[in-house]
Structure 1
Amino acid sequence: MIERIWSGDSGLWRLLLPLSWLYGLISSLLRLCYRLGWRKAWRAPVPVVVVGNLTAGGNGKTPVAIWLVQALQQRGLRPGVVSRGYGGKAKVYPLVLDSTTTTGEAGDEPVLIYQRTGAAVAVSPKRKEAVQALLAKGDIDIIITDDGLQHYALARDFEIVVVDGQRRFGNGWWLPAGPMRERASRLKSVDAVITNGGQAQDNEIAMRLMPGQAINLRTGEAQPLSALANVVAMAGIGHPPRFFSTLRQHGVAPVKEVPFADHQDYSEAQLTALTGKDQILLMTEKDAVKAKRFAAANWWYLPVDAELPPEQEKALLNRILALKSHS
C-alpha cells in the first residue's frame, strides 16, 4: 500500500499532506539553522564523505558505500565507516564493531559492511561520537558515513546521493505522503549523484548492481546462480521487488517470492517454514547477516556489487582522493 501511495497511484497521499508539510517545515528549518550557523556542525580532523539518499530506503546506498570503501582500500587508504545502526540496540554508544558484534546490537547494514570490507565500523545515533571512537582506536584516513545525508550535526566534505533510477522520487512529497526526506532540489547542492538502474539523467553517474555467485549460509560454498533450482526467494530490504527482478534477469524463476519489511529481524522457525521439501531458500546478503547464526543447509544468499562506468568511477574517486591531499 505504501508503495502505491508514494508513487501517486493511490490518492490517499492527499490525506497525509498536513503531516508532510510539518515534516518538511521541521527538516527545512533544521537545515537552515546549520547553514546560518545558529547550530554548529562538528568537523572531523579527516575528510568525511556522506553516502546517502533523498528518499526512504531501497536505493542501493549500502552497496555504493561498500564499493567506495573497497576502492579506497585498494588505493592504500584506511577508511572508517560510521552509521546510525538502524535496527540495532547496543547497550552503550558509540559501538565499534568486531567479529562478535550481532545485528541486534549494530543493525544489519553496519555488520554487512564490516564483514564485506574488514574496515573499522562504528555506530551511534550521534555520528560525531562514532567518528571519535574510530579515530581513538587506530589510523583512519577518511570517514565514510552510510546514510546521514540529513544528519547535519556532522560536517562533511563530499556528498554522494544514490537515486533509484526506476522509482526516482515517486510523487515528490515529503514523508509520510511521499518518499522524500528532502526535496529533489537538494540534488543541486550535492557533489555526486549515482543512479541505480533505470535511466541516468544529465550529470548523474549510472550504476547497476551486479550479482556474484550464490553462497551457502552454513558452509560458505559458492555456486553459480544458474545452478540453483526450485528456489523460494525472500528479501527484507527497502524495495524487495528489485531483488526478485534481479533473479529473473539472471535466469532464476522463483517458485515463490516473499517480501519482508526493511531491517526486519527473523526467527529460525519463521524462515524454515518458507520452504518445502527439496526447495532452496535464497535471500539477500543483508538478510543473511541476520540469519546465518541459525541457518539451515538449504539456505543461500546472493551478494551484489555496485558497478560504475570506468571513466566516471575514476573521475569520482579522484575527486574523493583529492580531499585527503587537502586535509
Structure 2
Amino acid sequence: MDMVEQWLWRQWSHRGPFAAVMFPLSLVYAGLATWNRSRLEDHQRSVFLPLKAVIVVGNLTVGGSGKTPMTAWLARSLVRAGYRPGIVSRGYGRRNAHASLLVGPGADPAVVGDEPLMLARGTGVPVWVDRDRVRAARALAEAQGVDVVISDDGLQHHRLPRDISILMLDGRRGLGNGLCLPAGPLREPRATVGRADFVVNTGGTPRQGEYAMTLVAADRLHSVARPNVTRPLRTVAGRPAHGVAGIADPERFFRALEHAGVDLMRHPFPDHHRFRAHDILFDDPAPVLMTEKDAVKCRNLADERHWYWPVSAQPEPAFERALLQRLETCIRLKYLG
C-alpha cells in the first residue's frame, strides 16, 4: 500500500500522462463535490446549534497535513482563552461506525478510532465521535457544556455549519498538480482554498496570506505500555531501531528519526492500520519507535522495547492572535444577529 501511495503522489506531482488519462474522471469528481457542497450548505440554514462557534479543521489533499496536531493545539489555545471547547470526529476506521460515542481516555481505539482517542488523552477536552457531526456537536453542547466545537478533518463535511474554517496545507507536497481525484490529490476543486478563513502551511514556506506551522518533536520518548515512563531521545541515537508508522505520511516520521541519529529499520503501514502482534514484535532486542497515534492502538501489544515519540503543533504567534480575534468577532456578530 505504501508503494502504491508513493507512486500515486509521483503522478499527482505534475500533469503528465496519468493525469491526462484520468482528467475526464477528475472533472466528474469535481462536479459532484461542488454539487454536494452546495446541497449541504443549503441544509446548514436549517441547523441550529446551541454554541458560540464551530471551527472546522481540514485539508484539500489526500494524506497528512497536520490536521490532528492543529486540532489538539487549537483545543488547548481555546482553553487558555477561557472557552470550553470540545472536538467532534468521524472516528475513521472504527467498528460500529454508526455509533455516537463520548470518547473516554480508557476507550478501545477499535471502537472510537485512533485519532479521537489520542485527542481525548492529549487535550483533556470532551471528544465525541459520530458520522453525523451535527448530532455530535449538539451532544457536546447539551451533555458536556461545550461552547466552541472543533471539527477534526471536517472540511468536506458541509452539513455542519461552520463559523471559521482552517485549511491545512502540506508544505512539501502543496496541492500537487492542482487536479481533483483521481487525476490529482484534491478532494475538492482548488477554489476551496479561497473559501477558507485561514490557510496554514505545515513544514514549508508560507505564501502570502498563509500562516506557518511546524511540528515540534519532544526530546523524550514515552513507553507505549506505560506512558508515564520516559527516556531521552538521545539514548537511541546511533543505535539500530525499528520504526513503525501507520499514518498518512510514514516517511515524514522516519526522516525525523534518522535526522535525530537513529539507525532506522523502516516498517510502514497504511493510515489507521489495525496493528497485530506480529506487526510490532521483532526477533531482536532493538527498540521499536512509533507515533503517538499508533501507540494508542498498540498499548496492549507492547513490551519494554516499544516507545512512541510525541509531536505537537507550533503555529506562528500571529496565527493565534488572528484566530482569537476572528472568533470574538464571529461570536459578537452572532449575538447581535
2:257 to 223, 243, 247: 247
Q: CA deviation at 1:5?
A: 2.3
Distance 1:26-1:39 versus aligned 2 partners, 3 A rule: farther
1:231 matches 2:241: yes
Structure 2 matches for 1:310-321, cutoff 5 A?
310-321=317-328
Write the letter of the residue equivalent to 1:261.
Answer: P
In structure 2, the residue matched to 1:266 is 275
Q: CA deviation at 1:278?
A: 2.6
Q: CA deviation at 1:34?
A: 4.2
Identity of aligned residues (%): 36
Q: CA deviation at 1:313?
A: 2.5
Structure 2 matches for 1:1-327, cutoff 5 A?
1-8=7-14, 11-35=17-41, 37=42, 40=45, 42-46=47-51, 47-90=53-96, 93-212=99-218, 213-220=220-227, 221-228=229-236, 229-249=239-259, 251-273=260-282, 276-326=283-333, 327=335
Q: Secondary structure of 2:288's partner?
A: strand
Distance 1:95-1:307 versus aligned 2 partners, 3 A rule: same
Cα distance in 1, alignment partners of residues 72 and 272 from structure 2: 18
Q: CA deviation at 1:314?
A: 2.3
- Asked if structure 2 preserves the Cα contact closer than 8 Å seen for 1:193 and 1:204, the reply is yes
Q: Secondary structure of 1:244's partner?
A: helix
Distance 1:11-1:30 versus aligned 2 partners, 3 A rule: same
Root-mean-square deviation over aligned CA pairs: 1.9
- Asked if structure 2 preserves the Cα contact closer than 8 Å seen for 1:73 and 1:79, the reply is yes
Q: CA deviation at 1:10?
A: 6.6
Q: CA deviation at 1:169?
A: 0.8
Distance 1:172-1:254 versus aligned 2 partners, 3 A rule: farther
Q: Secondary structure of 1:23's partner?
A: helix
Q: Secondary structure of 2:214's partner?
A: strand
1:6-64 per-position Cα deviation (integer Å, ceiling 9, x unaligned): 223873333333332221111111122345x3775624221100001111121110000
Runs (5+) with no aligned partner, structure 2 = 1-6
- Asked if structure 2 preserves the Cα contact closer than 8 Å seen for 1:84 and 1:125, the reply is yes
Q: Secondary structure of 1:186's partner?
A: helix
Cα distance in 1, alignment partners of residues 329 and 290 from structure 2: 38
- Asked if structure 2 preserves the Cα contact closer than 8 Å seen for 1:233 and 1:254, the reply is no
**TM, length-normalised to structure 2:** 0.90
Cα distance in 1, alignment partners of residues 288 and 175 from structure 2: 32
Q: Secondary structure of 1:293's partner?
A: coil
Write the letter of the residue equivalent to 1:144.
Answer: I
Distance 1:41-1:51 versus aligned 2 partners, 3 A rule: farther
Q: CA deviation at 1:90?
A: 3.0
Write the letter of the residue equivalent to 2:153.
Answer: D
Write the letter of the residue equivalent to 2:315.
Answer: L
Distance 1:43-1:201 versus aligned 2 partners, 3 A rule: farther
- Asked if structure 2 preserves the Cα contact closer than 8 Å seen for 1:84 and 1:124, the reply is yes
Runs (5+) with no aligned partner, structure 1 = none
Count the aligned residue pairs.
Answer: 323
- Asked if structure 2 preserves the Cα contact closer than 8 Å seen for 1:238 and 1:261, the reply is yes
Q: Secondary structure of 2:279's partner?
A: helix
Q: CA deviation at 1:312?
A: 3.0
1:196-249 per-position Cα deviation (integer Å, ceiling 9, x unaligned): 011110010000000012111122222222221322112111111111122233
1:257-309 per-position Cα deviation (integer Å, ceiling 9, x unaligned): 22111111100122113xx4231110111111111122121001111011122
Q: Secondary structure of 2:263's partner?
A: coil
Cα distance in 1, alignment partners of residues 16 and 298 from structure 2: 35
Q: CA deviation at 1:325?
A: 4.7
Moved more, 147-156 or 7-16: 7-16
Q: CA deviation at 1:91?
A: 6.8
- Asked if structure 2 preserves the Cα contact closer than 8 Å seen for 1:141 and 1:324, the reply is no
Q: Secondary structure of 1:82's partner?
A: strand
Cα distance in 2, alignment partners of residues 76 and 204 from structure 1: 26
